[in-house]
Amino acid sequence: MLLHAIYLVAIVAEAMSGAIIGMRRGMDLFGICLIGTVTALGGGSIRDVLLGHYPLSWIAHPQYLLFTIGAAIVTALVARQLHHLRKVFLLVDGLGLVTFTVLGCDIARSTGAMSIGIHPGIAVMAGMITGVFGGLLRDVLCNEVPLVMRHELYATVSLVTGALYMGLLWLHVDAAIAALVAVAIGFAFRVLAMRFHWRLPGFSGEGIRGIE
């Protein structure tokens, strides 16, 4: 399945991006592997716990751990050459974001505990959690302000992608076609947001420091 192949590429890329940040923080090899794995698989794990979807994806498919740990180790060995691939990483990260989102929505829809039917809004939220929470956990562990809480159109892209996917399913579009359309449009949205520096409005604390 195409989405599964993209998912495998995405978790490897996410693990490598997490490993790079871990290296910048001066972590040892264990820390680098941990941050890489959390980045790649953390969002899906949180989603599964919230939905009662067991076993967790990386327990059901232990090879995912091998992919992410291996990617982190390779990153540690060839890190000096990877700065040339920054744009490639950003593109793969964007592709991973929308792919994780669609897969998260799909898992929420098919979770056994939700067989009576899950609200579409909850499915979209499950997709967003899958897409962004791995990076959020990575940034928290590395003592950085999470990307999703800054001005970047990141969580917004995930929410739009999930809503589009669920909307197409509501219109009775074939699931495979709906997934590909949502991924393509969501990825284009993310690329355009990076290219033209689209941002959400930010707020500063100036003027309210005396308020308690």
Q: Can you spell out the DSSP letters for 89-125?
A: HHHHHHHHHHHHHHHHHHHHHH-GGGTT---HHHHHH
- 193, 122, 195, 117: which is closest to 155 by C-alpha? 193
Whole-model pTM: value is 0.87
DSSP assignment letter at 10: H
Tell me what pLDDT residue 59 has.
Answer: 94
Helix (H, G, I), strand (E, B) or coil at 85: helix
Tokens of 211: 């308020």
Q: What stretches of 114-198 show up as alpha helix (H) in DSSP?
A: 120-141, 155-170, 175-195
Cβ 51 vs Cβ 108: under 8 Å: yes
**HSE-CB for 81 with a 13 A CA cutoff:** 5
Tell me what pLDDT residue 62 has.
Answer: 94
Q: Which residues contact 52 (CB under 8 A, 6 or more apart)?
A: 111, 113
* Total Cβ atoms within 10 A of residue 82: 17
Tokens of 103: 């897969």
Tokens of 56: 């967790």
Q: Does 114 score more than 60 pLDDT?
A: no
Convert the pLDDT of each residue in 48-105 to its tens digit: 999 888 899 999 999 999 999 999 999 888 877 766 667 777 887 888 899 999 999 9
Convert the pLDDT of each residue in 127-147 to its tens digit: 999 999 998 999 899 988 887
Q: Is 107 exposed, middle or buried (0-12, 13-18, 19+ CB in 10 A)?
A: buried
- 152, 149, 132, 145: which is closest to 197 by C-alpha? 152
